[in-house]
A and B are shown apart, each in its own frame.
Chain A
Amino acid sequence: MLAELSVSLWRGGEDGRYETYSVPRRESQTVLDVVTFVQRHIDPTLSYRFACRVGVCGSCAMTVNGKPRWTCRTHVSKVAGSGRLEIGPLENLPVIKDLATDMEAFFEKWQKAQGVFAPTKTRHDEIEPIRPDSPARRLADAAIECINCGVCYAACDTVRWNQDYFGPAALTRAWTLLNDERDAGSTARLQAVAAAGGCHSCHSHQSCQELCPQALNPTAAIAGLKRRTTAAYLKGEIKA
């Protein structure tokens, strides 16, 4: 194992540049450990975002050697065999400063895709029994572990080319809710994801499912939305 890592970090805003630092190599070192070392020992003005450090909160995603990754669960040994690391902000999102991006558009698109649960009951009603092995629940469960890290959004070619495209995470959320038997917002949600920027813009390049740190498959969820919206349109339930 090399004693030192050569680490290039993006510094500044959209018009910034990479600056190179030397960071001691450690056993079981993660990419987030490397960034944190630079901030604590070399340059305290380095801006980046993290919270839980254990792959739950989805805050620490960055571009690592050209690919978006969750840095807290990405070991240096996995991505920097040559001893070089290039760490930048997530792509497809505006850079605030250094490694921190503005996630507003990402979350706004969740709203546009009607990614909000629409309850069918109140707190005064009985809890509805849901069978975990029902086909709909299995589909909902398949994508429910999304941590909103933005890796799929940064990896998506269609988002890069089409600023209006909702992106894999928002559409996967819509698919999860469509399959949630307790949800009442299906028609409005299908209408929302069938609009311009919705599921039909997806080219099925599958970068989202290749890089999703939770091993989810947004491409399959979007394909499900395409089928479901087509059926709803042909039945006259939604308008084109």
Chain B
Amino acid sequence: MTMRLYLWQRATAALMVPLVLVHIAVIFYASRKGMTAEDILSRTHGSIVWASYYGLFVTAASIHAAIGVRNVLTEWSPLTDRRAGLFGVVFGLLLAALGARAVYAVVLS
């Protein structure tokens, strides 16, 4: 792993620590309150705060996971570093697209 990839992976990990904690707290809050999907969507719909929060979460997770998958492939598969990097980029873009779709569904649709 190079310096730049290391820094991106650690920075996104650090960013995700509070995001994960808030995410888990929200899950507990929603389930303890017995909120339905309709209740939740009524609160998140049109919210710039939730769109920004989960947009950031999806971006950080996509970058973090893409670098991790690249590193696993470089060490454990016969792929060259370049091919493992390409696979990581494709994997990260796929995660970002799936995450963006979910954010869109919760906030904008």
| Binary flags per residue of A188-213, CB closer than 8 Å to B gives 1, else 0 | 00000011101011000000000000
B3 touches A194 (CB 8 A): yes
State which of A161, A233, A240 has its C-beta within 8 Å of the C-beta of B75: A161
Range of interface residues on A (Cβ < 8 Å) = 10 to 19
Complex CA–CA separation, A194 to B5 (angstroms): 11
| Binary flags per residue of B67-98, CB closer than 8 Å to A gives 1, else 0 | 00000001110000100000000000000000
A240: chain B residues within 8 A (beta carbon): 2-4, 7
State which of B2, B75, B76, B81 has its C-beta within 8 Å of the C-beta of A200: B2
For the complex of A and B, 7 pairs with smallest distance between CB atoms: A161-B75, A240-B4, A200-B6, A194-B3, A240-B3, A200-B1, A201-B1
Is the contact region of chain B dominated by helix, strand, or loop, or is it mixed?
helix
Complex CA–CA separation, A198 to B1 (angstroms): 8
Asked if A179 lies at the interface with its beta carbon under 8 angstroms from chain B, I say: no
> Chain A residue with minimal CB distance to B76?
A161
Complex CA–CA separation, A238 to B7 (angstroms): 14
Range of interface residues on B (Cβ < 8 Å) = 10 to 19
User: 5 extra interchain contacts, Cβ-Cβ under 8 A, other than A198-B3, A240-B3?
Assistant: A161-B75, A200-B3, A200-B5, A233-B7, A240-B7
Complex CA–CA separation, A240 to B2 (angstroms): 7
A161: chain B residues within 8 A (beta carbon): 75-76
B5: chain A residues within 8 A (beta carbon): 200
Interchain nearest-CB distance for B70 vs A (Å): 12
A109: chain B residues within 8 A (beta carbon): none
List 5 A-B pairs, Cβ < 8 Å. A161-B75, A195-B3, A196-B1, A233-B7, A240-B4
Count chain A CB atoms within 10 A of each CB in B2, B4, B10, B74 and give the residue with the most: B2
A111: chain B residues within 8 A (beta carbon): none
